[in-house]
């Protein structure tokens, strides 16, 4: 039987009924905090989009979307979304959202390529959000301001939860530590990018790593990003490349860092052309989304996704994402979880 890296001597702090009630409370509380803090309007999101429009995200570039033919549209192919980064930007334009305001939605996706473990599922649920910004706000300073606002909403949600369930003590640090991926590489030159994430997150508890996608001084990116949503190649005011990043939270239950959110200032026309050329994806300029951006029909914006199940997992101090959401798991994983007090939904 394949063994998975699961915490030993784990005991859930809430039973199944309490867990379901607490999940509901977290989701209701956090999305209200998020929408009021960032001034976001809720919109309805698609589960799938038409292939060939450029609206779907290709994430790291190798994942294949789940797809199916549409019988009543002459066999046109629909793709289940990977995320809604580009769809949201089009929606900002369609709703004519003014500067300083934005949208959020429940994003549900299927990622059939995932390697299943206690943090990765076939089913992905996020709060996807997007906000219109000005040209002057396309800075790392403004990015940090938005990250702090989101983290404040997380802290408020944690406090509210701990008031209802005293056994769930509030343990998140009071603030987020910011570090650029190049600084992180210099800090831990002997470690791999993932090992660096673990080390810095364990040290501070909550870290936002700026600059994901562009090559570092050693010629390798910290991690890969699709070239057509986050701006990872613009030189920011800190003299580093990149206006995006990942929010990492340390889990004492798992003894590891958990990526809770990926977000960033989105590409403008110049950054899009540069990143498409550098990644060898210039043919995308002819797709629906990319044509609209290059024709100045889409607003400047910042946006990202916040994992719903992962946030619940962290705040409820759970050992497996399957304790939060219902999905499909290998039989050997279910057997191992049953032996370790991990009750998969």
> Alpha helices of the chain — where are they, by DSSP H?
16-38, 85-94, 140-164, 181-187, 193-204, 269-279, 288-294, 308-315, 331-339
Q: What's the pLDDT score for residue 198? A: 97
Asked if residue 230 is part of any domain, the answer here is: yes
Distance CA 213, CA 198 (A): 18
| Catalytic residue check, 262 | yes
Contact criterion met (CB below 8 Å) for 312 and 155: no
Contact criterion met (CB below 8 Å) for 104 and 127: yes
Q: What is the DSSP letter of 62?
A: T
Asked if residue 9 is part of any domain, the answer here is: no
| Catalytic residue check, 72 | no
If one counts every other C-beta atom within 10 angstroms of the C-beta of residue 129, the result is: 27
Asked if residue 3 is part of any domain, the answer here is: no
Distance CA 162, CA 165 (A): 5
| Catalytic residue check, 25 | no
Q: What's the pLDDT score for residue 7? A: 84
Asked if residue 121 is part of any domain, the answer here is: yes
| Catalytic residue check, 246 | yes
Strands 206-210 and 256-265: unpaired
**Catalytic-labelled residue, pool 114, 177, 259, 268:** 259
Task: Give strand pairing partners of 106.
Answer: 127
Print pLDDT tens along the chain (345 aa). 566 678 888 999 999 999 999 999 999 999 999 999 999 999 999 999 999 888 887 655 556 788 999 999 999 999 998 889 899 999 999 999 999 999 999 999 988 888 899 999 999 999 999 999 999 999 999 999 999 999 999 999 999 999 999 999 999 999 999 999 999 999 999 999 999 999 999 999 999 999 999 999 999 999 999 999 999 999 999 999 999 999 999 999 999 999 999 999 999 999 999 999 999 999 999 999 999 999 999 999 999 999 999 999 999 999 999 999 999 999 999 999 998 889 998
What sign has the CA pseudo-torsion 332, 65, 59, 137? negative
**Catalytic-labelled residue, pool 31, 121, 233, 262:** 262
Asked if residue 116 is part of any domain, the answer here is: yes
Asked if residue 6 is part of any domain, the answer here is: no
Residue 18, helix vs strand vs coil = helix
Q: What's the pLDDT score for residue 3? A: 60
**Catalytic-labelled residue, pool 197, 246, 251, 309:** 246
**Catalytic-labelled residue, pool 35, 79, 111, 131:** 111
**Catalytic-labelled residue, pool 57, 125, 130, 158:** 57
Q: What's the pLDDT score for residue 64? A: 79
The pTM for the full model equals 0.94
Asked if residue 4 is part of any domain, the answer here is: no
Go through 42-74 and write b for each residue having 16 or more CB atoms within 10 A of its CB, e for each that does not.
Answer: ebebbebbbeeebbbbbbeeeeebbeeeeeeee
Q: How far is CA 225 from CA 111, 276, 277, 284, 341, in A?
A: 16, 12, 14, 15, 37
Q: What is the DSSP letter of 253?
A: T
What string of DSSP letters covers 145-175?
HHHHHHHHHHHHHHHHHHHH-TTS---S-SS
Distance CA 184, CA 193 (A): 9
Q: What's the pLDDT score for residue 63? A: 65
Q: What's the pLDDT score for residue 208? A: 98
- CA 22 distance to own-chain centroid: 22
If one counts every other C-beta atom within 10 angstroms of the C-beta of residue 268, the result is: 17
125: domain range? 16-339
Q: What CATH number does the domain containing 252 carry?
A: 3.30.930.10
Q: What's the pLDDT score for residue 134? A: 98
| Catalytic residue check, 57 | yes
Q: What's the pLDDT score for residue 16? A: 92
In terms of Cα–Cα distance, which of 248, 272, 265, 275 is closest to 302?
265
**Catalytic-labelled residue, pool 31, 83, 121, 126:** 126
Asked if residue 115 is part of any domain, the answer here is: yes
Number of domains in the chain: 1
């Amino acid at each position: 039987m394949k063994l998975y890296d699961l915490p030993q001597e784990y005991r859930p702090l809430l039973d199944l009924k309490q867990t379901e009630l607490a999940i509901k409370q977290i989701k209701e509380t956090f999305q209200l905090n998020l929408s009021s803090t960032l001034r976001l309007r809720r919109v309805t999101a698609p589960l799938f989009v038409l292939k060939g429009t450029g609206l779907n995200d290709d994430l790291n570039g190798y994942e294949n979307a789940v797809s199916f033919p549409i019988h009543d549209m002459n066999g046109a192919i629909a793709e289940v979304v990977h995320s809604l980064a580009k769809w949201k930007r089009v929606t900002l334009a369609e709703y004519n959202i003014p500067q300083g305001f934005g949208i959020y939605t429940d994003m549900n996706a299927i990622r059939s390529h995932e390697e299943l473990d206690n943090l990765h599922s076939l089913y992905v649920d996020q709060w996807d959000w997007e906000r219109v910004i000005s040209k002057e706000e396309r800075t790392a300073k403004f990015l940090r301001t938005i990250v702090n606002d989101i983290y404040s909403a997380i802290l408020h949600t944690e406090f509210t939860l701990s008031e209802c369930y005293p056994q769930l003590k509030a343990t998140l640090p009071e603030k987020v530590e910011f570090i650029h991926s190049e600084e992180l590489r210099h800090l831990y030159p002997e470690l791999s990018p993932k090992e660096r994430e673990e080390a810095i997150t364990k040290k501070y508890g909550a870290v936002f790593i700026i600059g994901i996608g562009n090559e570092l001084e050693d010629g390798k990116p910290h991690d890969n990003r699709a070239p057509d949503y986050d701006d990872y190649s613009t030189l920011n005011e800190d003299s580093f490349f990149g206006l995006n990043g990942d929010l990492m939270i340390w889990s004492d239950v798992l003894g590891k860092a958990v990526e809770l959110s990926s977000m960033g200032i989105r590409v403008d026309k110049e950054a899009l052309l540069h990143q498409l050329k550098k990644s060898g994806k210039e043919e995308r300029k002819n797709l629906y989304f990319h044509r609209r951006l290059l024709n100045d029909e889409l607003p400047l914006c910042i946006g990202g996704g916040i994992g719903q199940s992962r946030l619940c997992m962290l705040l409820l101090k759970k050992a497996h994402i399957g304790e939060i959401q219902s999905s499909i798991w290998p039989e050997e994983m279910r057997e191992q979880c049953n032996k370790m007090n991990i009750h998969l939904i």
